[in-house]
Amino acid sequence: MIRLPLVLFFSAALFSIGVYGVLARRNAVLVLMSIELMLNAVNVNLIGFSQLWRDLTGQVFALFVIAVAAAEVGIGLAIVILVYRNRETINLDEVNLLKW
């Protein structure tokens, strides 16, 4: 039986690594992967509290998040491929059309 603080620390570390990846990486694929890390950090939290409260709702919700994450990655990768086809790069610094 893993103790809850341990779970929370792990989750927080995982989330922080994700944030770092999202903000610091230039490669779009790695940014997408970092987002997966953040989502999974949330999943860890959900399951940890589900076990604490003996309530399955948290685990069900984690399953939903996994499903949504799969869909999100599907769409995200598709966008990355299209961007690559159009601009010959997936460096996020160069994909900066979303501005004034």
Binding footprint of other proteins on the chain (CB under 8 A)? 19, 22-24, 31, 92-93, 95-100
Residue 10 and residue 44 in contact, taking contact as beta carbons nearer than 8 Å: yes
Judged by beta carbon, residue 42 or residue 51, the one nearer other proteins is 42
* Strand, coil or helix: 91: strand
How near is the Cβ of 24 to other proteins at its closest, in Å?
Answer: 8
Sign of CA dihedral 53, 56, 48, 46: negative
Judged by beta carbon, residue 2 or residue 97, the one nearer other proteins is 97
Which DSSP helix (H) or strand (E) runs through 79? helix 57-87
Judged by beta carbon, residue 31 or residue 44, the one nearer other proteins is 31
